[in-house]
Amino acid sequence: MIHTSSKSGTLHEESQAYDAHGRANYAVDRGELNAALLNELEGLKNVKLCFNHKLIHADLKKKEVTFEHSLSRSKADRQDVTVPFDLLIGADGAHSVVRYHMMKYVRMDYAQTYIDNLWCEFTIRPRPSADANPNSKFAIDPNHLHIWPSKQGREEMFIAIPSTDGSFTCTLFMPSGSYAELEAHPDRILKFFDTHFPGVSTLIPGSDLVDMFNSNPHLPLISIICSPHHCGSSAVVVGDAAHAMVPFYGQGMNAGLEDVRVLFEMLDKHTTSDSSASEFNPQVAAALNEYTAMRIPDAHAINQLALDNYTEMRSGVVSRTYKLRKSIEEFLYSHCPSLGWATKYSRVSFGNERYSEVVKRSELQGWILGWAAVGLVALPVLVGVWWGRWRWRVAKRSTRFLARKGMGLGTAGAREGWRWLDWF
């Protein structure tokens, strides 16, 4: 749902279906997801959960890791624990310690980029409601991702995503300079919201809005790519540790879950149950090699898509070209399914296609649409030229006929006319 306002200040909402087939991209509360995953893990006999253990060192040759175990909040109350491992899977986020140690053993290419935008979280609280309709607790339509796009030439964006309790988790994305300006002048925060995100201050009362801006952290956004994602048969990174991305495709966590699926497919394919846990295990190495070969093009592709979508969401969502391409693609997707046409967003969000394949197919679709557009402009011109030439030929033939019969313009005049028409 795109939220804008007219020059007179009237608020507008324009629905943007996620997908031509009405499918939605559901939001999940982080805390609830973590709790659900922990419940599942607790039920597995071969899993031991160790909280308050911070990885501080990894020796990938000896296959040993050292954790700092915090027994209490006091700094003095900590002890180092060293444990051996067969395979170290680093799912320790963008600032991964596993990745840091892997770099000492393998020639890893690595690139990190901070975009000049920070993010800050806000909450639209649930509406008190005794209504039987489950949607009545939501202050705005819960079936949409709500976007307040930036105005022409600006970079601020505000989004709101529904949660199951009736609240909306909102995020303000904005250049660091704009944050600094509002931090220095908190009295301008409310006016800023009214100017750039019309209607938000009716959903989050003014004083809450200012409090949330001042008390919630203003955090950076990082994009990381690295290659390879593994080291011999010892270690592998998954999730943000391998490919942290800006959050504008809503695929960060999904890409991490896909990593896990592919990793386990590869381990199942290459290893046997009696695979030895020796220093170098060729079967595990083969699995990790194939994992890296498969995931790197996909990780790089979704990283780039997320950055591209940032530009699209900020301004492209209201551009005519964006809307035209989206409508054509959705029309073809809905009415001509045999063509295999689909929007990039649908392919990424509702299918299992590899991100790198999605990019290739989307480029091909863009190329076809581009040429179709050129054809649409060129066709009337070509038809016009052809029609003109045909008319002249008919006229020429009539003139010749008249000339032969000595009629019409008079023999000399007709011959003159024929010569003139012969030019064409």
Ligand X SMILES: Cc1cc2nc3c(=O)[nH]c(=O)nc-3n(C[C@H](O)[C@H](O)[C@H](O)COP(=O)(O)OP(=O)(O)OC[C@H]3O[C@@H](n4cnc5c(N)ncnc54)[C@H](O)[C@@H]3O)c2cc1C
Residues that bind ligand X (CB under 6 A): 54-55, 91-93, 97, 119, 171, 239-241, 247, 250-254, 256
Of 231 and 241, which CB lies nearer to ligand X in the complex structure? Answer: 241
**Closer residue to ligand X in complex, CB, 251/399:** 251
Rank residues 343 and 349 by Cβ distance to ligand X and give the closer one. Answer: 349
Q: Which is nearer to ligand X, 97 or 286 (CB)?
A: 97
- What is the DSSP secondary structure assignment for residue 126, as one 8-state letter? P
The distance of closest approach from Cβ of residue 202 to ligand X in the complex, given in angstroms and rounded to an integer, is: 24
- C-beta of residue 230 within 8 angstroms of C-beta of residue 289: yes
Closest to ligand X by CB, 241 vs 284, is 241
- What is the DSSP annotation of 330-359? HHHHHH-GGGT---HHHHHHHS---HHHHH
CB of 115 to ligand X, least distance (A): 11
For ligand X, give the closer residue by CB, 253 or 285.
Answer: 253
Name the residue type at position 168: F
Cβ-contact 158, 171 below 8 angstroms = yes
Nearer to ligand X, 54 or 397 (CB): 54
DSSP 356-406: HHHHHHHHHHHHHHHHHHHHHHHHHHHHHHHHHHHHHHHHHHHHHHHHHHT
Least distance from ligand X to the Cβ atom of residue 233, Å: 22
Distance separating alpha carbons of residues 60 and 280, to the nearest angstrom: 10
Q: What is the CB neighbour count within 10 angstroms for residue 196?
A: 19
The amino acid occupying position 9 is G
Q: How far is the CB of 375 from ligand X (least distance, A)?
A: 39
Peptide bond preceding 228 in cis form (omega within 30 of 0): yes
- Please identify the residue of the shown chain whose CB is closest to the bound ligand X: 239
Q: To the nearest whole angstrom, how small is the minimum distance from the Cβ of residue 219 to ligand X?
A: 7
- Residue 302 C-beta: closest distance to ligand X, Å: 10
CA 389 to chain centre: 51
Closest distance between ligand X and the C-beta of residue 254, in Å? 5
